[in-house]
């Protein structure tokens, strides 16, 4: 049985470049985004939100509640400490502002919101506003 190989002039050209005629540029990835990962749970009285915010100081966390709209913002700042004769060769840590908004099915009682930040996780307790539950309308 004969081995049959498909001819591709592009593959042949690229293989020539990979032999030393072409040097792939060394590049850094584009600035990565700071992303907030959240879990939202619901019970009869409230919503519970757990948001991962590693490396953020609690003074740099802002929570806003407007009706059923919840907005989380956090700023991760780069600590600048230079030592003589030392330079950064590679850094994967991300710095910047992160924001996340989401809408809940029921309005939140903003006066009863509790927020706690511990071990890089923001825990929110968002009590539901009384009397704002969705009603099912029967169609006649």
Q: Which CATH class name applies to 31-78+94-130?
A: mainly beta
Q: Average of pLDDT values for 126-132?
A: 83
Q: In this model, does residue 134 exceed pLDDT 50? A: yes
Contact 63, 115 (CB under 8 A): yes
Instruction: Kindly list the domain boundaries of the chain, sorted by start residue.
Output: 31-78+94-130
CA distance 15 to 18: 5
pLDDT band at 117 (very low <50, low <70, confident <90, very high): very high
pLDDT tens per residue, range 57-113:
889 999 999 999 999 999 887 666 666 777 777 777 767 888 999 999 999 999 999
In the chain the first and final C-alpha atoms are separated, in Å, by: 75
Count other Cβ atoms within 10 Å, centred on residue 49.
21
- pTM value? 0.64
Judged by DSSP in three states, 70 sits in: strand
Cβ neighbors of 61 (< 8 A, separation 6 or more) are 53, 72, 73, 74, 115, 117, 122
How many other C-beta atoms can be found within 10 angstroms of the C-beta atom of residue 51?
Answer: 23
Check residue 137 and give its pLDDT. Answer: 63
> Whole-number mean pLDDT of the chain?
78
């Amino acid at each position: 049985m004969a081995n049959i190989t498909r001819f591709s002039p592009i593959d042949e050209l690229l293989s020539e470049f990979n032999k030393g005629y072409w040097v792939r540029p060394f590049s850094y990835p584009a600035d990565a985004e700071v992303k907030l990962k959240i879990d939202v749970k619901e019970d009869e009285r409230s919503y519970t939100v757990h948001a991962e915010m590693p490396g953020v100081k609690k003074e740099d966390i802002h929570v806003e509640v407007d009706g059923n709209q919840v907005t989380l913002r956090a700023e991760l700042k780069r600590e600048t400490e230079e030592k003589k004769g030392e330079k950064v060769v590679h850094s994967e840590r991300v710095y910047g502002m992160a924001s996340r908004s989401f809408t809940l099915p029921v309005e939140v009682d903003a006066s009863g919101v509790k927020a706690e930040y511990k071990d890089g996780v923001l825990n929110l307790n968002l009590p539901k506003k009384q009397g704002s539950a969705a009603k099912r309308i029967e169609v006649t």
